[in-house]
Structure 1
Amino acid sequence: MNKNLLQSLNQTLIVSCQAPVESPLHDPYVIAAMAKAAVLNGAAAVRIDTPAHITAVRQQISAPIIGLWKQQIPGYDVYITPQFSHAEAIAKAGADIIAIDATLRERPNQEQLTTIITQIHQKLGKLVMADIDTIEAAISAANAGADIVATTLYGYTNQTKHLSPPGFQLLAEMREKLQVPVICEGGISSPKMVKQALEIGAFAVVVGTDITGIDAKLKAYLS
C-alpha cells in the first residue's frame, strides 16, 4: 500500500465526478473529461464510480483515483462497494483507493467489515476509504483497519436521514476521536465551506454535485 499516496492528499480538494445513470453525462468519455478538467484545474484526486468509468478516467489522468462501485443488492441497504468482488473489479480498473460503505448496517453474505478491509489491503494492495454516517461507524471503521474515514453517508442513512450534510459536527468528533485521516464529503457547496472543513480538521475535502452535478444543479434552479 502506498502511504505516500495518502500523504499527497493532505489539505487538498478531491472532486467526485459522477452522474445519474439516466443522464447523458453518465457516458465514460464525459466522466473522464470531467476528471481531467478537475485535475488540470487543481484537484489532487478524483472519486469515480463503476469499473467502466474508472478505466476511462485512468486513461486520461495519472492523479489518484478513489474508486467505488454502487451496487444495489436486494435485502441490503449497503451499496457503496458492498462486497470484495466489487472492490477487486474497481482495483483492476485502475483505482488507487477503494471507497466502501462502512456503516453499521448489515452486509451482504454477512461479510464482515474487517474482512473486506483486510482483503483489500492484502490481496489488492490498496488503501481503503470508509464512508460512514455516525461517529460509532467511524470508530468501527478505524478499528477495522480503514486508512481514511469520510463523512460521505451522513444524512443518507435511516439513522441520519433527519440530518443535513455537511456533517461538520461529526467531522469535528471524528478528528478528536480517530487517529486516521478524516475526510469531509457530502453537502459541500462553496469554497467557504471547504475552508471551514479544513479548519475543523479535515485531512481533505471531497466536492461533487457543486462542481460536476449539472443535472442536480439545473433542477435546483428550476424548482
Structure 2
Amino acid sequence: MIDSLKKKLIVSCQAWPGTPFYGDPRLICAMAESAYNGGAGGIRANGEKDILEIKKNVPLPVIGIYKLPDKRGVTVITPDFQSAKKLADAGSDIIAIDASYEARPNLEELHELIHQIKTKLGIPVMADISNLEEAIRAEKCGADIVATTMAGYTPYTTKTDGPDLDLIESIVKKVKIPVFGEGRFSKPEEVNEAINDRGAHSVVIGTSITAPWEITKRFVRAI
C-alpha cells in the first residue's frame, strides 16, 4: 500500500476552528472527492468522523491523524494509543504521529507507541519529524515512513519560505524507509523537485489546495 503511493500527491483534507469547513465531515469529504477527481493518490485527514465519511466515498488510502491534547495539555498529532485505535477503527490505512523531540522527548515512549500501533492494530506508522536526527530516531523506533511535516514548526528548526527540500534530500540519504515531503508546498515545480530530484517517495499538500481563504490571500497580496 505504501508502494502504491510512490510518486503520488497526497492531499491533506482538514479544517480548523473558525473556518467555513470546520465541523462538517461532509464538507471535508467533498474536499477529498475533489482531490480524487484531480488525480490525488491519497488523503490525509484528522479525526474519526472525517475519516469515516471519506472512506465511505473516496477509494484512496487515508493517512489518519488525531490532533488532541497530550497528558501535558499540549496539542499533539495522535498523542496516544487510544487515539490511534479510533483512527484504525475509522478505516485509516496509515496512522501518523508526531515524532519530534518537542512532542515526544522520551525514546522509549515513542518506540512503544509505534510498536503498539503496528502489532495491535496492524497498521503502518508515519512519523512526522522536523529534522534529520528525528527521522533517524523514528526509523530506529520502527516507523514505516518519515514525513517532514514538523520542519520549521519546532523551536529548534528554521522555517523556510517554501518546503525544506534540503532536509528531504538529507533524510533520503540517511534512512531506508520512504520519505514523504510535507510542509509549505505551494507550487507544482516544488513537488516535481521533491520527488524527481530530491528523492521523496510522495508529497503531502494541504493549505495550498484545501484552504481557499489562504489561496485568496496570496492573490490579494499580489494586488
Same fold, judged at TM 0.5 (above): yes
1:201 match = 199
Structure 1 segments (4+ residues) deviating >2 Å: 72-78, 105-111, 161-165, 215-223
In the alignment, structure 1 residue 24 sits paired with structure 2 residue 20: yes
How many percent identity over aligned positions? 42
- After TM superposition, give the deviation of residue 215 of structure 1 in Å: 2.8
Query: 5+ residue gaps in structure 2?
Result: none
Q: Once the two structures are superposed, what CA deviation does each residue of 1:162-188 show, in whole Å capped at 9, x if it has no partner?
A: 544411111011000000000100011
Q: Once the two structures are superposed, what CA deviation does each residue of 1:1-44 show, in whole Å capped at 9, x if it has no partner?
A: xxxx0110011111111112221212210100110111122101
Range 109-118 or range 45-54, more displaced: 109-118
In the alignment, structure 1 residue 172 sits paired with structure 2 residue 169: yes
Contact 2:98 2:104 in 1 (8 A): no
Contact 1:50 1:69 in 2 (8 A): yes
| TM-score using structure 2 length | 0.92
Structure-2 separation of matches of 1:37 and 1:161 = 33
* Secondary structure of the corresponding residue to residue 100 of structure 1: strand
> For the aligned residues, what is the CA RMSD?
2.0
In the alignment, structure 1 residue 187 sits paired with structure 2 residue 184: yes
In the alignment, structure 1 residue 139 sits paired with structure 2 residue 136: yes
1:118 match = 115
Structure-2 separation of matches of 1:103 and 1:36 = 31
Query: 5+ residue gaps in structure 1?
Result: none
| TM-score using structure 1 length | 0.92
- After TM superposition, give the deviation of residue 48 of structure 1 in Å: 0.3
Structure-1 separation of matches of 2:20 and 2:108 = 35
The code of the aligned residue for 1:58 comes to K
Q: Once the two structures are superposed, what CA deviation does each residue of 1:132-172 show, in whole Å capped at 9, x if it has no partner?
A: 00111000001000000000000111111554441111101
Q: 2:214 aligns with which of 213, 216, 223?
A: 216
- After TM superposition, give the deviation of residue 216 of structure 1 in Å: 2.3
Q: Once the two structures are superposed, what CA deviation does each residue of 1:103-138 show, in whole Å capped at 9, x if it has no partner?
A: 112549997111011101011110101000011100
Contact 1:78 1:105 in 2 (8 A): no
Alignment of 1:36-115 (within 5 A): 36-73=33-70, 75=72, 77=74, 79-107=76-104, 112-115=109-112
